Chain A
Amino acid sequence: MNNKPKIGVYVCHCGVNIARTVDVEAVREFASRLPNVKVVRNYAYMCSDPGQLLIRDDVEKEGLNRIVVASCSPRMHENTFRKTLAAAGLNPYYLEMANIREQCSWVHEDREEATAKAKKLVYAAVAKARLLEPLYEKEVEVEPASLVIGGGIAGIQAALDIANAGFKVYLVEKTPSVGGRMSQLDKTFPTLDCSACILTPKMVDVANHPNIELLAYSQVEDISGYVGNFDVKVRKKARYVDVDKCTGCGICAEECRLKGRIPSEFDMGMGKRSAIYLPFPQAVPAKYTIDPERCLYLTRGKCGKSPKCADACTAGAINFEQQDEIVEFKVGTVIVATGFDTFDPTRKPEYGYADYDNVLTGLELERLVSASGPTGGNIVLGEGENAFVPKDIAFIKCVGSRDKSVGNEYCSRVCCMYTAKLAHLVEEKIPGANVRIYYMDVRAFGKGFEEFYDRVRREGIRYIRGNPSEIFKRGDKLVIKVEDTLAATPLEDEVDMVVLAVGLEPRKDAREIIDILRLSQSADRFYLEAHPKLAPVDTATDGVFLAGCAQGPKDIPDTVAQAKGAASSALVLLSSGKVKIQAQISFINENTCRGCGYCVEICPYGAIELVTISRMGNPVQVGRVNEALCKGCGACAAACFSGSAQQKSFMDRQILPQIAVLGVMR
């Protein structure tokens, strides 16, 4: 193509949005006198079909080879006009936009001044358009496999959907079993389905699915690469049990010298397990694990004469020599479904959780009411002779949520409903119990929630509006200091048991995944989605998606919906098999680069690394951009001391003339 610039300038009225404040005719007239400008037109709506046709016709008839559109923000219509250029047979990157709407007509009132500014913006765009170069989008292949991190209900659902679509899934779960928090719940609101009954089949499906490789008791150590091509390294922790031999019979746990001595994580420390254990009866995989921090043999090198588990195991599955194993594989997409932690109520010492055994958390009560729990589903407090069934029971909502004093300003979204559910279960299990719920608001926003809340109240559960301030003990009773705000009456309510409806928090180990994947966090410290409304499962890193409570508190219905969304987003990439990568990316001139590495540090996407090249026979370090990772933010170009890092379409020699025009012209 003849590269002498022949520029077409198109000034849009945007109905009256621009034309009311900017004299578009004056701008047109002005632009026609600018160097290299061959055609200038103004038109009511440039983005409309006829508007775009104007450009196509002029390219054909007048041989234009650069286009300037003076209209709205490029965020709005840059893509529209790039397609117009492509349709006209021009490289789409020969487009420059002058934003005379958001940056001019919408923010000014004086017509004369606004018109002068619009002229300036158009002149600047023309100055840059002359220097534009053609760019070409590249495509890369997508590895037809996905990594799912976290085996709670979110991870399970996402893994199943992707696997059912015919793609390979690696599901990495940190603990010995999948299931997550949902496996600890007794019944689920608002329908009161038994949690295990609806979850267990899905857990089994995960284990049996031909497309799913379940890596339980494992941790992601490293992920490198970019969308479509992630290299993953996973550490499979030693279980000291040969999973191919273990039949899950459980004789080992029966025989373990520490049987009944170790607090069970699954039962929130209220039940006890052995050093070799299955976290819970329905665990998947149904393989035993030796707790390396507790096992006598592993910690002291000696367990009686010989380890009793090994003696008992008829399958010969116990293997104290087992080592961690590193597994490496490639995937095209990653789904982060690492879930949440519950709020630690010792951070609100006024509730006495650390001091009083009869102050429980909601999750602890879930285990107490569960038939598979430490008390077989009976709500009994105390032990031995002191055991008793509580009669006066109070729930306190919003513990650790909506509370600036502990740094959690957000609503945890599930506590209102799980409180209603647990209150119902308590009422059912303890006939004649006096159950009251202290609350500041009741948020029953989901499908069937308000109906459930109505039902529970009518079952005889009192809702008292007031958020308790303090708990102390008087004799055998716990005293709740609270105001009934509707009656404006301060109370000292004496009860046998207090249940704290603790909120949901980001996991304490959330940083691990942040460091590996360079995720961001929102103000509430949960992982940040790319856009709160329009890209709720995407992240700033292409090919990495979020599902479940890792992104923010949510109930099971929302978790599953989001997991399905994340799976489908991953499937879009996996099934198309190819992904386009940005054209307006950065590059580094290796002849002038001084290898200071400043860009490497500044790049938010980890797209630049230092490589060693030979310069006149000497090895030197220079920065190099990974084109698949670069998002074209330009941070490196702004930071580079030697001007070696440049961003395509925004190179110094392209934008300096543009800036110069803005600076000198009146």
Chain B
Amino acid sequence: MNTLMNEELQDFIQKYDLYGCVQCGRCTGGCPVTVRTNLNVRRFVYNSLDQSMLEDLAKLPEIWDCTACNTCAVRCPKGLKPVEVLMGLRNILVVDQGVVQPTVRDALESVFLEGNPWSKPRKTRSDWMEGLEVRIAEPGEKVENLIFVCCTVAYDPRVQILAKNLVKLLNKAGVDYGFVGDDEACCASEVHHLGEEDLFMEMVEGNTELLNEFNAERIVTISPHCFSTFKNQYPSLKPKVIHYTQLIAELLEAQKLSFDREFSGKIVFHDPCFLGKQNGVFDEPRAILKQIPGVEVVEFERKRERSLCCEGGGGKMWVETESKKERLAETRARDAGELGADILAVACPFCVLTLDDAIKAKGLEEQLRVAEILEIIGDLVE
């Protein structure tokens, strides 16, 4: 049954500039998941031109294999965003056809009701702060750095340490900062990637209003996903948005922060797609790591613009890819192992979760651990 209006279909072509595609294949050529799934994003761009096929395309399982790493969009020579075509198809499936997997439904409902996708109560969002000396920003009052925590960091015990360590570093460096606090709600990056465009727009509106009320010079995010979403998908957000690695690199550079302990080991840094590829932040995380006394920083073969996605984004926390082939995160862990690294460093809570699992799956726990930069440096400061 055709649930879409003809106009909507026409808009689909316009919205994603489908006629602009020259079928060069750079999108699919660069897509990291092609080594383990059937996803061929170029063919979705091509086939979407046939309006009568859209609804069937939306039902193909591989549209859920996309990790939203954005490689396809970065590489496209004609300025298309093939990844968004997949998100558009997810939207058709989820919103227009109402076909939603239970895990996805729970996540979306939780964002709608509790402001986070983890089915946790809104009122416990700031529980991680207990016992810490945390400054909360007041609407209207001037603050240089408004800190946005991220749902995953706020609730997931594995990564709450990121927020705690950031507080420690900020206090130590005497930074003018304030956390958003209890009213903080999901940036909705994953809502967009799960295809619920209406809810996404609603969240954008609400968050824009909330964040603009603070008199902040800039917003500092812990997760690159919030960073990228605020930066690229919140057109009316007033303050500038930066990632915490940019702030820390700045503090080290200005000598407002320094490391008291050393770490004598090998660290390899994995570029999170939402930080590096999508927003060009490559140097700051490396600058931070290189200042650790005693450290040896090594590089992956596939680094910076050529970094390999860990498959943590694009809603993949809630949708499993059916494939027997090695996960990309496992490839990454294996490569880090071969480099002889002691720490596989990341700057993203999702990367922590996917790579943690990968190291276990590969049985590398003995020689290698995953650590977020905030975890690493939090320990090196008194």
Contact = CB atoms under 8 A, between A and B. Distances in A.
Interface string A444-479: 000000000000000000000111111111100000
A402 interface: yes
Interface stretch (A40-48, A481-489, A547-555): A481-489
Contacts of A402: 22, 77
Given A350-B305, A350-B306, A490-B31, A405 B25 contact: no
A533 interface: no
B30 interface: yes
A472 B306 contact: yes
A405 to B, nearest CB: 6
Given A404-B79, A482-B29, A440 B24 contact: yes
B78 interface: yes
A466 B29 contact: yes
Contact of B30 (A349, A350, A465, A484): A350
B306 A488 contact: no
A441 B24 CA distance: 8
Contact of A481 (B30, B42, B43): B30
B30 A488 contact: no
Contacts of A465: 25
B6 interface: no
B301 A473 contact: yes
A474 B301 CA distance: 8
Consensus secondary structure, chain B interface: helix
Contacts of B78: 404
Contacts of A349: 304-306
User: Which of B23, B29, B40, B71 lies at the interface centre, i.e. has the most chain A CB atoms within 10 A of its CB?
Assistant: B29
B285 to A, nearest CB: 17
A488 B40 contact: yes
Nearest to A400: B77
**Nearest 10 pairs of A and B residues by beta carbon:** A469-B30, A469-B29, A483-B25, A490-B34, A467-B24, A403-B77, A440-B24, A466-B25, A485-B25, A483-B28
15 contacts: A349-B304, A350-B75, A398-B24, A402-B77, A404-B77, A404-B79, A405-B76, A466-B29, A470-B29, A483-B25, A483-B28, A488-B42, A490-B29, A490-B34, A490-B40
Interface in B11-41: 22-31, 34-35, 40
B26 A469 contact: yes
Given A405-B79, A467-B29, A483 B306 contact: no
Contacts of A474: 301
Given A481-B29, A485-B23, A485-B25, A469 B75 contact: yes
B306 A352 contact: yes
B6 to A, nearest CB: 29
B79 A483 contact: no
Contacts of A485: 23-25, 28, 42
Nearest to B73: A405
B302 interface: yes
A254 interface: no
Nearest to A471: B306
Contacts, number: 85
Contact of A482 (B23, B25, B302, B304): B25
A484 B22 CA distance: 14
Contact of B306 (A398, A405, A470, A490): A470
B339 interface: no
User: Which of B26, B34, B35, B78 lies at the interface centre, i.e. has the most chain A CB atoms within 10 A of its CB?
Assistant: B26
B74 interface: yes
Interface in B74-129: 74-79
Nearest to A466: B25
- By size class, the interface of chain B is 20 to 34
A402 B17 CA distance: 17
B71 A469 contact: yes
A466 B40 CA distance: 13
B301 A472 contact: yes
A403 B22 CA distance: 11
Given A350-B306, A482-B29, A466 B24 contact: yes
A292 B31 CA distance: 49
A492 interface: yes
A294 to B, nearest CB: 31
Contacts of B75: 350, 405, 469-470
B227 to A, nearest CB: 21
Contacts of A466: 24-25, 29
A411 to B, nearest CB: 11
Nearest to B72: A469
Given A483-B42, A490-B40, A467 B302 contact: no
Interface in B179-210: none
Given A405-B79, A483-B28, 14 more contacts: A349-B304, A350-B75, A440-B22, A467-B29, A467-B77, A469-B25, A470-B75, A470-B306, A483-B29, A485-B24, A485-B25, A485-B28, A488-B43, A492-B35
A484 B25 CA distance: 7
A465 B25 CA distance: 8
Contact of B77 (A398, A470, A483, A492): A398
B304 A483 contact: no
A492 B42 CA distance: 17
A398 to B, nearest CB: 7
Contacts of A468: 26, 29
User: Which of B79, B301, B306 lies at the interface centre, i.e. has the most chain A CB atoms within 10 A of its CB?
Assistant: B306
Interface string B289-310: 0000000000001101110000
Interface in B28-69: 28-31, 34-35, 40, 42-43
Contacts of B301: 472-474
Nearest to B74: A405
Contacts of B22: 402, 440-441
Contacts of B305: 349-350
Contacts of B24: 398, 440, 466-467, 485
Contacts of A481: 29-30
A398 B25 CA distance: 13
A471 B301 CA distance: 10
A492 B76 CA distance: 18
A441 B74 CA distance: 21
